A and B are shown apart, each in its own frame.
Chain A
């Protein structure tokens, strides 16, 4: 139980890192995610079925996500479409594209197929007990991606992207086109989401066109839970770690809902409602915390 929560949390955590980039760093609510997640899954599964090397298939999935992000950025930047609508447009188009990639099917299984995960399991089965192999593997993968992201946001380019989410005028004043930065950010974010989708498909044993439904909500809820773990911290390394931790906690909550929800007559169909309510509760808690902080500040200043 605990391993499967951790593994799921880490796989989806890669997606949460992507959502963190758009929502928190870029301040660009990007709904492309709902389409780029199954896109990554579809590309990965088809790649495996075609007999391509697993890591190459993963790279193709990443590039697919990058392209999806670029499409959203182009729609937003050049057609002056609001960011939400631009994401919805790409997401809608991706639905058809994903079915195409899956060979006009809505669901393609890879149960009996060699995947990256079976490969890793067979290689490490002598070193680590079987039930912990995937956990170790995904800890390494998710933390590796997190560290690479931290490095990226410490470069001049990464810092400028961070500044843009806070103050677009400042970036314009530096002679930098904010459209370019948005494109880079969206590409990176959706690339990560697609990688997450690719791993999820291998873990679940299938790619499904509906895999991405509501993913953005899961991602957002995870980011928000993660933000609850620290108070006012702007260190990028801490923030990305919180995003991963938030994802694990979110999946723990969902796990409880899925397996013990029957106690209160809950069915798996209610999970989306639960996700939405969770976000609303988190929003209320954040608001009250802010108000409390403001009240304390006012008291101190008096």
Chain B
């Protein structure tokens, strides 16, 4: 047997035992790492050969599409601009090329219908304390990992339980329920644009307000058409980073920003929602940039909601947002010049109340969906007579 001398043994042992210390330098720092590694883009793909053989009873020809050679079509509703060969289904799952014609497959078939308080949308500057007849059909052009309604947004129209409710029936049901508005919400209304626009036209005729709760990922032309009929919108500004849009939502930032500009230009009342996802959307610098953009392009009057994130759907291994992060963002936004910044998903937080941007007095106190104090006279602050941006008056409803 070979013998090792003591000196050599001690030398080797010391070397081995001290070595791990040096390699500490190789390990990533435990400081915040910015946007983390992992897949960069989760954008959806076209479902090849997944279209139904023939359109269903209520399928409706697409509102905006281009016919190409070989019976291919290009859907023009959203920036995905899906190029569909016959038999293909769109990214949003609710459009299909059937024999060279683009069909909307969910027309007249909502899968969820409820009557919600308008504050639930959330819309805080639009007819407070009124009810909104809310409906959704299956489909979405995004793939948000934290979707609250993934059961319908990430499903094909045929995969969910649907009811038959044509636009006329929707308006009738909304009026019957005493709602003052109809909301296209829950999933992504852009994916059932044809159904939404027909409901909106009829709602307008009957004096009902039309609300659009959306991710804002829509092209200019359909949006212009929609702006003719929509009275209010809540559009998600999921983050102010294209990278995060691609990583967590499967979309792009620029088209959403264009939507905000268009809504602003057309004078549609809209509010913005920013879900503060820990580790991704909780960077104060990003919020500052976002507020800067809003102020430059949209002005200070559009309400901005910072919502608390809860583990949800596939993004279920992150903690909820600390309440103080939302409070900080609200203060930051107001300091930057946004007049109406709110905190959401935190029961009875002071940041849910509306304060006059001029005299700073309490205009609307909110306890959940209840409003214990209301200090507006028409659309003006009771205390200083300043006009408060929003839609406050109740319209006359004709039946």
A is bound by B = no
Interface residues of B (CB under 8 A from A): none
Chain A residues packing against B (C-beta within 8 Å) = none
